[in-house]
Structure 1
Amino acid sequence: MAVTVETLEKLERKITLTLPVDTIQNEVNTRLRKLARTVKMDGFRPGKVPMNVVAQRYGYSVHYEVMNDKVGEAFSVAANEAQLRVAGQPRITEAEKAPEGQVAFDAVFEVFPEVKIGDLSTAEVEKISTEVTDAAIDKTVEILRKQRRTFAQRAQDAAAQDGDRVTVDFEGKIDGEPFAGGKASDFQFIVGEGQMLKEFEDATRGMKLGESKTFPLAFPADYHGKDVAGKTADFLVTLKKLEAAHLPAVDGELAKSLGIADATVEGLRADIRKNLEREVKFRLLGRNKAAVMDALVSKAELDLPKASVQAEVERLVAGAREDLKQRGIKDADKAPIPEDMFRPQAERRVRLGLVVAELVKANNLQAKPEQLKAHVEELASSYEKPADVMRWYFSDNRRMAEVEAVVIENNVTDFVLAKAKVTEKSVAFDELMGQN
């Protein structure tokens, strides 16, 4: 049959569907007869309910089901015949006029856009690189030592200093009144590591065992405790225990305790370098991939299907609710989350998805089996039993779909970088890793 497709606006289309009334009624009768064989109603034995009674009770709902099914089938056939790539679900309403013996419906829907990608050789991308330095390895060694430090009682007349673990009693008052969370006994923290507000640490630093001190503490305006945020409290703190930290020596014993196969200092540093280089590689890939995707989107022209954007907005809102639930927020399901705050992100995701899909199709950038295997091997290599991790990935289609998406993104990144104007930039290790 010939299908007439009307263009309403940009990506919006309309098709008028017609269905014979007889076809619908015959299907309704067939379903009612089938229902009559099993339906149970008071006053009748199963299977003996008269058809007119069944039709009276269930006729409307069965008719509604049949109309939904038949209109859906007709739309699918019409869209396929017109070779349309439909985005989202059609809005179907009954048409005002229909030929005799027919019912007519208008299906209004969106189609996926034509994506035009401009000249990628004019795209500008800043590609960053980072070197794993000896200083980065030194810093990691210090972190590992801190994680394995022990504490011992300091001398009676010693003063608290950075790195010491202190045990204190404290009580805070605002305008002479205690407040919730402002009092604790035998509270431990390590001086100089930012576990407490700066004024608290400054007051404790230099105190001796048994000493008490009163000091003012101004809570920041954005402090997590809303009752005290932006207010100043007077705290009384008493130092009850003072312990010095002892960090293990950097030697074979430390390497052994960390499970390093080559239990030497050299083996430890080599293992750290290998792990840092793996982490750096993934972070560089992420940053460079984001820069490539920005450049790619800037070179593309397309209209966005509203239905796809709305579906993405709803996914993001659902994700935000789930995040609130995971954090233990009460009534997370009812929390007012404005959709508009997610719309720019949703539009970018949809735009990027369509552009990437077009580039992949046009340039045969699909993930190849050997690429999937290599990526899974790389992911598994940092685990103690890589073979088990690889089996875990390969045994689940959903996990492999995630791997495939990453590999395709990597292929797109490499393709764009090979064509674009690339500026190389070296960034410090700490900057890449987000450290101070």
Structure 2
Amino acid sequence: MSPPTHANSYYAASANDKVIRPQLTGEHRCDVCVVGAGFTGISTALSLAEKGKKVIVLEGTRIGFGASGRNGGQIVNSFNRDIDYITSNYGDVIGKKMAKMAFAGSELIRNRIEKYNIDCDLKHGNVFAACNNKQFEELKAKKALWEAHGHNELELLTTSSIQDHIGSERYVGGLLDRKGGHIQPLNLVLGQAKAFESLGGEIFEDSEVVRLEQGKPGKVVTKQGTVIADTIVVAGNAYIFGLLPDIEKKAMPCGTQVITTEPLSAEIQKQLLPSDRCVEDCNYLLDYYRLSGDGRLIYGGGTTYGARDPGKIESIIAPKMLKTFPYLKGVKVDYAWTGNFLLTMMRMPQVGKIGDNLYYAQGYSGHGVTNSHLMGEILSDAIDGETERFDVFASMPQYQFPGGRMLRVPYTALGATYYNMRDKLGI
């Protein structure tokens, strides 16, 4: 039986590291066993290895197989719910503590790239694009909010000045965040995995975990082997598959689709995105896009609730791309793929501890690139006894979607239809 492979994506085709790690066999012993080799798992493992811990990572398929190796590659600051929402719903104390972490994920990513010399096509700056005046007013408020919490690398873009960044007539304005950016996400997670291994860490692929046994120590069991560990971290996110059923009930897998064009001429690249920033619009069901390191347009969107894989991804996303950039008509699409992210009821990450020695983190609700890296550092600190930041997240209540597993998809899709209509009407 052949080993599992990555999705047939542009990221997999341009991966720097195509080495297949061994499958777990026999019994192993370590300080911490991390389940899942995506951003959360590898960030946690690398942070722990930097502290001198003996860490083993188990991955059911390949490093970065899930959302970490399929996402839009955009470094977007803050959380799905912004600081004002957090303060309003969870109080001033939690609001102030969360504000201190809102921009930490992007800094951590840049520090890792520099420290370990990771080649992942890092480019700086992202643009939030307003499709109507209501969204533009919301971007003005975002700028004021972030500046009030110390983020001063922001620029409001008018209908005229946004043309310096996006060659499209769709937008009435925008907000440039110079602390944002974009990367080749699979190469980012693979680069960190290599850094982790350089510090003595071990990664086993094609090693799906079938059972967790809590205790002191705990036991993580695959079909071919076992890891005995003082501490266990579950970092499977949308791909957790039955390991923690009570936790799985509190979040819902969602699918997003991405296409990548053939390499474009330098002239077309300059016409599309003159400043080479990445872009996401402000719609509830948003579009996002950017240029790759080799000059392709990567365009994504089309959220589906319940992680249903659409049959024809290109037919869903290409019309969105052409609505934004009509002059790309006739450009060939080389890659199309889908991937799952995990949505929570409150759109905030779910973080916690079960028993004495099992930690989990999940549900970044579309802000996974930055939040997952931050969470890895936070989990590492908590395991090492520094729980201040972990306790902030863990104190936030976690709710199930209304309707349970049967009705959560139609209820959420109905809500999305409502907000999508509001976006179209500009209200």
TM-score of the aligned structures, taking structure 1 as reference length: 0.23
- Please state which structure has a larger fraction of its residues in helix: 1
Q: Computing the radius of gyration over CA atoms, which structure comes out larger, 1 or 2?
A: 1
TM-score of the aligned structures, taking structure 2 as reference length: 0.23
